[in-house]
Amino acid sequence: MCGIVGYIGERQATEVCLAGLKRLEYRGYDSAGIAVVQDDGTLEVTKVVGKLANLAQALEEQPVDGTLGVGHTRWATHGKPSKINSHPHTSNDGRIALVHNGIIENYAELRDQLTEEGFEFVSETDTEVIVHLVDKYYDGDLAEAFRMAARDLEGAFAVGIVCADNPDQMVAARRFSPLVVGIGEGENFIASDMGAVREWTDQVYVIDDDEMAVITRDSIELTDLEGNPVEREPYTIPWPADAAQKGGHKHFMHKEIHEQPRAMRECLLGRLSDPEKSINLEGLNMSEQEIQSLRKVVFTACGTAYHAGLVGRFLMEKLARIPSEADLAAELRARDPVVLDGTLAIVVSQSGETADTLVALRELKEKGAKVVSVVNVVDSSIARESDGVVYIQAGPEIGVASTKAYTLQILTIALIVAHFADVRGAASEHELIELRRAMLKLPEQAQELLEREEDVKRVAEKYYESPNALYLGRGVNLPSAMEGALKLKEISYIHAEGYSAGEMKHGPIALVEPNLFTVAIAVKGDVYDKMIGNIQEIKARSGPVIGVAFDGDTEIPRQADDVLWVPECPELVSPVTTAIPLQLLSYHIADMLGREIDQPRNLAKTVTVE
């Protein structure tokens, strides 16, 4: 769950590593460090507790010269955030330095063994065993030493290693944790993801499990962990170098909320252009016969992506008439799920690297399910391990709070559902045309919603000091309530519950009082009247209510204290539009509270540990 970067070339390694780490800070930010092989053949390590700014300052105070180095930004798993626990970790003689993302499961046993053999441990981390193992096997050949070390390791790793003895070589390897090698001219890079190297190159090798790279300034040799050569075509990063910049916005989250109309257009491009025509989903990799013989669909994911999966479950049953369920990925394996013949697993993930989701994918696949993933990061682990993948095409999402990925996940899933409904004849031609028309209108409606940002800000001003919030929804908008609450709590730290409005009277209504505000998603549709009833129940108990309603609704302004208006659309696609004012509401509340919006406390963008 950390970020790693490495550089070998002609530039100052500290500058490149710092810039690359900045792009990876979303992966963790409780401590950071850099190791550089200096021009005089010594290894210099700089580590700090806290964010990268502290590392930049330390390097400014004590500059380090050298054109080969590895850097790390950490999210603690083993051992608290401290200077000693932060990476890079070094061999006892201080000549080998290593950065690591992942978890070594047998580290305790290895630590005992290595201690007995005379290696001295200074940190509480699992990572330190790797560097001592490499040192143990090192006999002048760093790559060979790592190969031998890898045989002893159980668990996940992406590592970058440098050695003071060899100022012209960097070694990198992967098992389960993401790793790319950036291809330059007279310089090369390693990183946990492509975004970290995009400033310097658009060509990368995506490293697979149990593969490694031996990198010099002018060459990159890919092998498996046995040393057998690996042939790989470079991958061209499809977005421009400035895509990961804030572009005038105060926070990445704000920029990403505003990117939704464009991202939606790109997601629809080539898939749906005319409501009268069928949807084209390249990458789905399912024949019409396979779609017709489906007996069950299981959505699995974590966090925001799980909420998109809940919308998916609703749409899949309602429109495509296929029995469906949605499972939290972290819970799926525990109950040893029964997977029937004809089961399709739809795995949803922005990063494509979430460990719980990857484990759930493997479980379902092993039990015979066909796996299609709905993923943002191209060529990520989840994408590669799936039988089919439909990319959401949202572009890089840097803010820890997922925004554009959520609406694009729902849109992508809706495309899949509409395609299934078409192929299975589950919906009438008229229904399908109306649904496709509604999807095509979403980018424009998202734009309209963004133009109403000032209205949302005014509502935020009224409620930002409340200590508690309740988000209520029903039907297809129950996940919208859950997502609205998650967005608020993760960036503002206000306690928020996302709840079924129907369940409210079975417990949560006890919480209602003037200091708790309720957001009620009450767009016109099947559950509208019931939502009005729920709003009245809250008002009767002196709870302030913010309604989310379709433009032109005359009832909700009479019942609620404030209204967030959304353009009218069929209820089934409304989770895409209702999400946007709720993202903006959380954003402005958190901003008014002065929170660190792009890097909320205790969180990391990509959770690569179970």
Strands 3-8 and 68-74: antiparallel
The footprint of ligand M6R on this chain (CB under 6 A) covers a number of residues equal to: 16
Annotation marks residue 462 as catalytic: no
Taking CB under 6 A as the binding criterion, the range among 57-65, 104-112, 224-232, 397-405 that sits at the site for ligand M6R is 397-405
**End-to-end Cα spacing for the chain:** 10
Q: Return the closest-CA partner of residue 225 out of 165, 283, 150.
A: 150
- Selected from 14, 324, 349, 477, the binder of ligand M6R by CB under 6 A is 349
Q: Which of 350, 412, 477, 599 binds ligand M6R (CB under 6 A)?
A: 350
| Strand-by-strand arrangement of the 468-473 sheet | 495-500, 468-473, 516-521, 545-550, 562-566
Q: Which is nearer to ligand M6R, 172 or 485 (CB)?
A: 485
Q: Is 305 in the site for ligand M6R (CB under 6 A)?
A: yes
Single out the segment in contact with ligand M6R by CB under 6 A; choices: 63-71, 168-176, 301-309, 469-477: 301-309
Question: Are 394 and 244 a contacting pair, CB within 8 Å?
Answer: no
Residue 392 interacts with ligand M6R (CB under 6 A): yes or no: no
- Nearest-10 crossing angle of helices 453-463, 574-592: 50
Judged by CB, which is closer to ligand M6R: 176, or 200?
A: 176
Whole-angstrom distance, CA of residue 320 vs CA of residue 314 = 10
Place of tokens 């089961």: 343
Query: How many of the other CB atoms lie within 10 Å of CB of 240?
Result: 11
Of residues 120 through 159, those in contact with ligand M6R by CB under 6 A are none
> Applying CB under 6 A, does 177 fall inside the site for ligand M6R?
no
Q: Where are the alpha helices (DSSP H) in 250-342?
A: 252-258, 260-268, 288-292, 303-320, 329-332
| Cα–Cα dist 402/417, whole Å | 22
Q: Which is nearer to ligand M6R, 222 or 401 (CB)?
A: 401
Q: Which of 304/477 has CB closer to ligand M6R?
A: 304
Of the pair 178, 303, the CB lying nearest ligand M6R is at 303
Select the residue whose beta carbon is closest to ligand M6R and give its number.
303
Check residue 599 for interaction with ligand M6R (CB under 6 A): no
**Looking at 37, 142, 398, 400, which residue binds ligand M6R (CB under 6 A)?**
400
Single-letter amino acid, residue 140: G
| For residue 88, cis peptide bond before it (omega within 30 degrees of 0) | yes
Catalytic pick among 22, 255, 370, 605: 605
Minimum gap (Å) between residue 491 Cβ and ligand M6R: 8
Out of 401, 413, 414, 535, the only residue in the binding site for ligand M6R (CB under 6 A) is 401
Span from 192-200, 349-357, 464-472, 498-506 in contact with ligand M6R (CB under 6 A): 349-357
The only residue of 302, 369, 389, 435 in contact with ligand M6R, by rule CB under 6 A: 302
**Which residues partner with 43 through β-bridges?**
37
Q: Of the two residues 271 and 487, which places its CB atom closer to ligand M6R in the complex?
A: 487
Choose, from 2, 163, 267, 302, the residue flagged as catalytic: 2
Beta sheet of 296-301, edge-to-edge order:
324-328, 296-301, 343-349, 370-375, 388-391
**Which segment (149-157, 310-318, 351-359, 555-563) binds ligand M6R by CB under 6 A?**
351-359
d(CA 490, CA 602): 9
| Exposure string for 510-523, b = 16+ CB within 10 A, e = fewer | ebbeeebbbbbbbb
Given candidates 86, 91, 177, 402, which one binds ligand M6R under the rule CB under 6 A? 402
Using an 8 Å Cβ cutoff, are 329 and 304 in contact? no
Residue 433: which of 276, 543, 324 has the closest Cα? 276
CB of 600 to ligand M6R, least distance (A): 8
Q: Of 119-127, 269-277, 291-299, 302-310, which part binds ligand M6R (CB under 6 A)?
A: 302-310
Active site residue 605: yes
Nearer to ligand M6R, 359 or 426 (CB): 359
- List 85, 354, 518, 583, residue binding ligand M6R (CB under 6 A): 354
Residues 473-492 that bind ligand M6R (CB under 6 A): 486, 490
String of b and e for 271-299 (b: at least 16 CB within 10 Å)? bbeeeeeebebeebebeeebbeebebbbb
Among 12, 125, 260, 357, binds ligand M6R (CB under 6 A): 357
CA distance 289 to 306: 28
Say whether 273 sits in a helix, a strand or coil: coil
Shortest distance (Å) from residue 394 CB to ligand M6R:
11
| Residues engaged in binding ligand M6R (CB under 6 A) | 302-305, 349-351, 354, 357, 400-402, 486, 490, 606-607
Q: Catalytic positions, please?
A: 2, 605
